Amino acid sequence: MTKTSIAAAVLALASLPLVATAGPSASFHGQAQAPAHVNPDTVLYDQTSNDSGIGIVSQNFESTFNAYDAQAADDFTVPANTVWNVTEVDVIGVYFNGAGLARDENITIYKSKKHLPGAVVFTSEIAGTDNGTGSFNIMIPKTKLKGGASGTQYWVSVQANMDFLVGGEWGWENQTTSEGTAAVWENPGNGFATGCTTYTTETTCIPDGQGDHMFAIKGKAK
């Protein structure tokens, strides 16, 4: 695929067909379905409203199209003088250019450094509960996050593991609004020819992106 055709795919604004095309696209236009909540723990943070109808690819393409491997991350804040024991991350997403399903998901929680993802607090490859359309409930081992004297910013990233030629693509759905620091995105192999090879403000990389990503965090607070 030429750089010209890749650029056209990245900037395409029409809804994409649910069949595999010649190569991955960076975004999808279409509403997503939220997953059912399966964990009785408390919702500590909820950013699942105001669906923009746009999903941004956050995927490890596995055996093909490795240059297109991409990853999105979004921030949240643990309130001041509070400890969260996180047990679940729910994400709203969508399959496109194929029907899925993801084999599992890479989930990473980072400390914040200069308002970007910094040191890794937790990372694992986990098979979340998939609602069949690309929204996941991902149960994780209890992970302690501490809020400092004025609250502490963290980042979460979810990346689907799925071969493009088998399942197509997974997009993490955007909101129409932004909360905290704007979402970031990276494509280390620069297959999408955006130049965003490290975490960069997402709308700088993909102009048809909107606000932040849709996710919720569950667990217990003390």
Q: Give the Cα separation of 159 and 169 in Å (integer).
A: 11
Q: Which residues contact 215 (CB under 8 A, 6 or more apart)?
A: 47, 48, 74, 89, 90, 91, 92, 156, 158
- Residues in the chain, overall count: 222
Place of tokens 């599992």: 104
Reduced to 3 states (helix: H, G, I; strand: E, B; else coil), residue 41 is: coil
Domain ranges for the chain: 3-221
Whether the link from the prior residue into 145 is cis, omega within 30° of 0, is no
Q: Is the dihedral of CA 9, 192, 65, 129 positive or negative?
A: negative
Instruction: Specify the pTM.
Output: 0.84
pLDDT value at position 209?
A: 80
In tens digits, what is the pLDDT along the chain, a chain of 222 residues? Answer: 333 232 223 323 222 322 334 567 665 555 555 555 545 579 999 999 999 999 999 999 998 899 999 999 999 999 999 999 999 999 999 999 999 999 999 999 999 999 999 999 999 999 999 999 999 999 999 999 999 999 999 999 999 999 999 999 999 999 999 999 999 999 999 999 999 999 999 999 998 888 899 999 999 999
Tell me the DSSP string of 92-118: -EEEESS----SEEEEEEEEEETTEEE
